[in-house]
Structures are given as C-alpha cells and as structure tokens.
Amino acid sequence: MKKKSAPRTIVEDTLVPHAAFNGALRRIEQCFAYADSAREPICIALIGETRTGKSRAMEEFSTRHPSIRNGEGLYIPILRVTTPAKPTVKSLVELMLERMHDELSESGSENAKTRRLVKLMDECGTQMVMIDEFHHFVDKGSHKVIHDVANWLKTLVDRIRCVLIVAGLPTCQAVLEQNEQLEGRFSAPVMMPRFEWKIDEHREEFIAILSAFHESMSRYFDLPELDNADMAFRCYCATGGLMGYLTKFLRQVVWNALDSGKRKITLGDLAIAHDEAVWAKHGPRGLPNPFTKNFQSTPNEDLIERIRMIGVPLEQETQKRRRVSPPKKMKVTEVLSTA
C-alpha cells in the first residue's frame, strides 16, 4: 500500500493515554467536577521527574475545558500559568492577570492587583488554577521555600475556593512539607513515573507506548517494529524510560526521514537520530548508542542501573541509586572498621 506523505508533527500529534497519564487526568477531572460545590479549596500536586509528561497532562486537561466567549462575556474555567524562575507575588499575580486578559496587568499595588484578579476569576467562572514548574517555589540556592508567594497562593485559593493543581519535580514536595497550611489543603499527590525496565507493569506500558508511536509512524514510513523485545529494550536504553526523551528521539527520526525524502527508516537511521537528539545535560556519560548493530540488546543489571540515571541531576544520582538498591546490612565489625 502506498504511504501518505507525512506531517512533520506526527510524533507531537500522537497522544498516548498511558495509565499514569489517564490516572492524572481522572484525578484532575474528579476535582474539577466537584469544584462548584466545594466548601474549601481542593489541591493536588502532580509530581514526577523531568520529561515524564506533567505539563502535557495539564495541557491536555485544559484543552478539554477551553475558554469561551459568549453573549454573557468571557468564561475561563481554567487559569494555567508556569511559575517564573524566581517567583515573587508581583510576578505571579501579573502573570495570572495577563492570562485572565487583564489589559493593565502591571498597574496598581500588589493588593489592588490581587483584588482585580479575584474579581476577574469570579466574573469569568474560573474553577481551577494550574501552576506548572511549582518547584520554583523553592529557592534554588538556599533550598528554602519562598513563603510569601506560597502564602499568597494559599490565600488566593481560599478566597476563590477553586481547585489548585500544581505540577513539578519531586523537589516541589518541599514546598508542601515546609508550609503546613498549604500542605493541609492537599490530597495525596499524583505521581508521573519514568518507566522502569525491571518493573513488569512499567515495561509493558513502555512497550505499549512504543506500539502507539509505531502505529502512527508506520502510516507514513516503513520502520523497524519498535515494540518487539529487542527494539523495546534498545528504545528503553535510548531514553531511560522517559516519555519526553522518547518523543524527542522519534521526532528527530521523522525529521531526518522527511528531510532526506526517505520512506524507509532503518536501524542505522535510528542510530543517527539518537546521536543527534539525545543530549542529556544530566545523567551518566559514555552510554552506548543502542541502535548500533553490535549493541547487546539482552538486558543486564549493570546497564539498566546506568540507564535509570538518564536525566537525573548528579546530586540526586546517589540518592536514587540508594533508593533502589538498599545498602547491604553491615556487620558491627565492618561498621567499626569503616568509621
């Protein structure tokens, strides 16, 4: 069968509703549905390592509940913002005002701006506030929570009695732990995982994700089956089980094929795309390119252990290693001799 000509955005256009992703949307939807009748704010944190799909989940949810302008005015059910790198009350309130289409977002005192924001949210029927990159509420240098901004946010959601969804790296849990009042308003977090090869459900899920991408791409290209045991392990090694690294790699595969006018994608093409796409600032160095012919695609402990560190900042690597392989119990004599 003749293949159709491919759009450059095949990978971006493929949304894979994997279990964690669906689970996150379901929890958010549940809160949204109860927002109207809630007597107190409902808050949930979406937590996961970098590139696990937190922003995509929030984006997907807000596109399902779009803003509408009708005869009665503007309806903005969800106010979604990304925390600035060093948030202050001023920067956050101005950003939110802007999103609410306030034309004078920079004018007035902090209090006046906050009052305007509350009024606008009320008038526009805003039921949910989504805050991405919530870990920026923790100061990078001092590791302390920026309490005035956290308190301001708490007061805002109390006044509106809306749903608050925050998303961020695991470090954002510190914001909640260090701010009792905010913590008390939060339900259990939703975790967005990276897919671990050694956990059966994760591996199966990762392979199902590869199937979904293979299906989209094979409408336009002849390419190796991504979801057989050999290729799935290679893809895992290329991406560390991180959704964002997988999409970045596959996007490069598509672009290269389109630019060279090829309909057939080979293992060699995957190897080239991998070299071009996967550049991780963090994580282990010197990993093999898993799409070369001589790559040993039989899983082994040592390799899997190194692959799990893809995307993990150096300072967290040791902690992560410790979490998975707890140290052997040492005998008293051994402890004394290492002291």
Binding site for Mg ion (CB under 5 A): 55
Stretch that binds ligand ATP, among 13-21, 170-178, 269-277, 279-287 (CB under 6 A): 13-21
Contact 270, 263 (CB under 8 A): no
Which partner, ligand ATP, Mg ion, none, binds residue 116 by CB below 5 to 8 Å per kind?
A: none
Is 283 an interacting residue with respect to ligand ATP (CB under 6 A)?
A: no
Quick one: which of 156, 79, 165 has its CA closest to 118? 156
- Work out whether the CA dihedral 219, 222, 228, 233 comes out positive or negative: negative
Q: Of residues 24, 27, 42, 48, which one binds ligand ATP by CB under 6 A?
A: 48
Phi/psi for 295 (5° steps) reads -70, 135
Residue nearest to Mg ion (CB): 55
Q: How far is CA 15 from CA 49, 146, 243, 275, 304, in A?
A: 19, 35, 11, 25, 27
CB of 97 or CB of 210, closer to ligand ATP:
210
- State the DSSP H helix or E strand holding residue 174, giving kind and residue range, or none if neither: helix 173-177
Write down the least CB distance from residue 240 to ligand ATP, Å. 13
Is 51 an interacting residue with respect to ligand ATP (CB under 6 A)?
A: yes
The site map against ligand ATP for 184-213 (x = CB under 6 A) is: ------------------------------
Is 52 an interacting residue with respect to ligand ATP (CB under 6 A)?
A: yes
Report the first-to-last Cα separation within the chain, whole angstroms. Answer: 70
Q: Of residues 243, 253, 309, 310, which one binds ligand ATP by CB under 6 A?
A: 243
Is 114 an interacting residue with respect to ligand ATP (CB under 6 A)?
A: no
Is 226 an interacting residue with respect to ligand ATP (CB under 6 A)?
A: no
CB of 84 or CB of 108, closer to Mg ion:
84
The separation between CA 72 and the C-alpha centre of its own chain, rounded to angstroms, equals 36
DSSP letter string, 45-112:
EEEESTTSSHHHHHHHHHHHS--EEETTEEE--EEEEE--SS--HHHHHHHHHHHTT-TTTT-S-HHH
Contact 209, 244 (CB under 8 A): no
Write down the least CB distance from residue 189 to ligand ATP, Å. 14
Is 247 an interacting residue with respect to ligand ATP (CB under 6 A)?
A: yes
Write down the least CB distance from residue 44 to ligand ATP, Å. 15
Contacting positions for ligand ATP (CB under 6 A): 14-16, 18, 21, 48, 50-56, 169, 243-244, 247
